[in-house]
């Protein structure tokens, strides 16, 4: 039988909200790929938190009405899961695919030639790998989680994953993780996991594991896409784990004329439906025109 959300977080079903949050943070640290945790369990911990992390979600889950409650067992474990017939967003590309391949290549190279890697995701192997290799796996998982969330936005949205964003279209390092187009606007998105809390300094993400200037790079790459396709972006978003930043949405202001926000993963869907405050919405025939232009120009990594 599948574990319940509470079992994944290792708490009793009557735990209070603060105890639940503490357990979630502990389990994130225990399972995080950057610390050699089990990548599959890391994803389960995040999904468990989505099911019970807010009072409303937890009440629905406890009543057996949560969309994914049967995935974990619990109150409705014996019932057959209902098929999900909701229309999905149109999606193109393979989220996290390039980083998954990069991780597999690097982990095998690190182990050494001639040595067979039976399970490249074995927690002991991941734990012993260099930090930069573990970080690539964590980012791949972050991209996959973002893709799972945006797919539920509905048929009014179109998503492109792993998009080349260099002028020549040949450098996978110069990519945008996700382009999301819908009535609330056109957004360039970066999915990141720095393995711990981050801050903001002079409009840029700062922290012990932050390398380079992620916000500046994202905006610069969006400008490359904008020029190539002849479109305008409504804004840019950096999607982070819930425990990485204090607020659900942190507004950074405009970077080279583009509104930028940091958003907790659990708040992403709501933000995309509403749009960044002050960002230009897209509607009517313009939405179809932008979609056509991007379809003609986007190349996937």
Domain assignment present for residue 83? The answer is no
What residues pair up with 191 in beta bridges, in sequence order? 239
* Same domain as 242, residue 120: yes
Task: Quickly list DSSP for 35-84.
Answer: GT--HHHHHHHHHHHHHHSSHHHHHHHHTT--TTHHHH-GGGTTSPPPP-
* Same domain as 166, residue 17: no
* Same domain as 280, residue 140: yes
Mean pLDDT of the chain: 86
Q: What percent of the chain has pLDDT over 70?
A: 91
* Same domain as 264, residue 118: yes
The rounded distance, in Å, linking the Cα atoms of 27 and 11 is 11
* Same domain as 289, residue 209: yes
* Same domain as 166, residue 279: yes
The rounded distance, in Å, linking the Cα atoms of 140 and 100 is 6
* Same domain as 49, residue 107: no
Higher pLDDT, 195 or 83: 195
Position 68 scores a pLDDT of: 41
Does the model's pTM come out above 0.75?
A: yes
* Same domain as 238, residue 127: yes
Q: Which structural domain, as residue segments, surrounds residue 109?
A: 90-297
Strand, helix or coil for residue 171: coil
Residue 100, Cα to own-chain centre: how many angstroms? 14
Q: Answer for the pair 143, 189: CB distance below 8 angstroms, yes or no.
A: no
pLDDT tens by residue, 99-115: 999 999 999 999 886 66
Position 1 scores a pLDDT of: 32
- % helix / strand / coil in the chain, to the nearest 5? 45, 15, 35
Number of domains into which the chain is organized? 2
Query: At 25, which helix (H) or strand (E)?
Result: helix 17-31
Domain assignment present for residue 235? The answer is yes
Strand, helix or coil for residue 235: strand
* Same domain as 105, residue 70: no
Query: At 2, which helix (H) or strand (E)?
Result: none
Domain assignment present for residue 84? The answer is no
pLDDT tens by residue, 188-204: 999 999 988 999 998 99
Position 200 scores a pLDDT of: 94
**CATH code of the domain containing 16:** 1.10.287.110
pLDDT of 85 strictly over 80: no
Position 69 scores a pLDDT of: 38
Position 21 scores a pLDDT of: 87
* Position 185 confidence tier, pLDDT thresholds 50, 70, 90: very high
pLDDT of 96 strictly over 80: yes
Burial of 290 (0-12, 13-18, 19+ CB in 10 A): buried
């Amino acid at each position: 039988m599948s574990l319940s959300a509470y079992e994944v977080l290792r708490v009793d079903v009557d735990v209070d909200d603060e105890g639940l949050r503490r357990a979630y943070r502990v389990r994130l640290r225990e399972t995080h790929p950057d610390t050699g945790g089990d990548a599959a369990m890391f994803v389960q911990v995040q999904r468990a938190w989505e099911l019970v992390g807010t009072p409303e979600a937890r009440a629905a889950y406890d009543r057996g009405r949560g969309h994914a409650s049967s995935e974990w067992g619990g109150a409705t474990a014996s019932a057959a899961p209902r098929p999900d017939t909701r229309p999905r967003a149109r999606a193109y590309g393979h989220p996290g695919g390039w980083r998954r391949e990069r991780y597999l290549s690097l982990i095998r190279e690190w182990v050494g030639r001639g040595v067979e890697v039976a399970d490249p995701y074995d927690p002991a192997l991941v734990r012993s790998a260099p930090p930069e290799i573990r970080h690539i796996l964590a980012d791949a998982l972050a991209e996959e989680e973002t893709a799972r969330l945006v797919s539920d936005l509905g048929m009014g949205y179109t998503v492109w994953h792993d998009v080349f964003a260099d002028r020549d279209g040949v450098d996978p390092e110069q990519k945008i993780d996700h382009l999301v187009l819908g009535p609330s606007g056109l957004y360039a998105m970066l999915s990141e996991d720095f393995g711990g809390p981050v801050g903001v300094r002079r409009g840029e993400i700062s922290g012990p594991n932050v390398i380079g200037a992620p916000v500046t790079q994202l905006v610069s790459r969006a400008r490359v896409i904008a020029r190539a396709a002849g479109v305008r972006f409504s804004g840019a978003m950096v999607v982070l784990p819930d425990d990485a930043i204090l607020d659900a949405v942190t507004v950074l202001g405009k970077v080279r004329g583009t509104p930028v926000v940091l958003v907790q993963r659990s708040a992403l869907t709501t933000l995309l439906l509403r749009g960044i405050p002050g960002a230009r919405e897209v509607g009517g025939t313009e939405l179809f025109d932008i979609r056509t232009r991007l379809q003609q120009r986007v190349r996937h990594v």
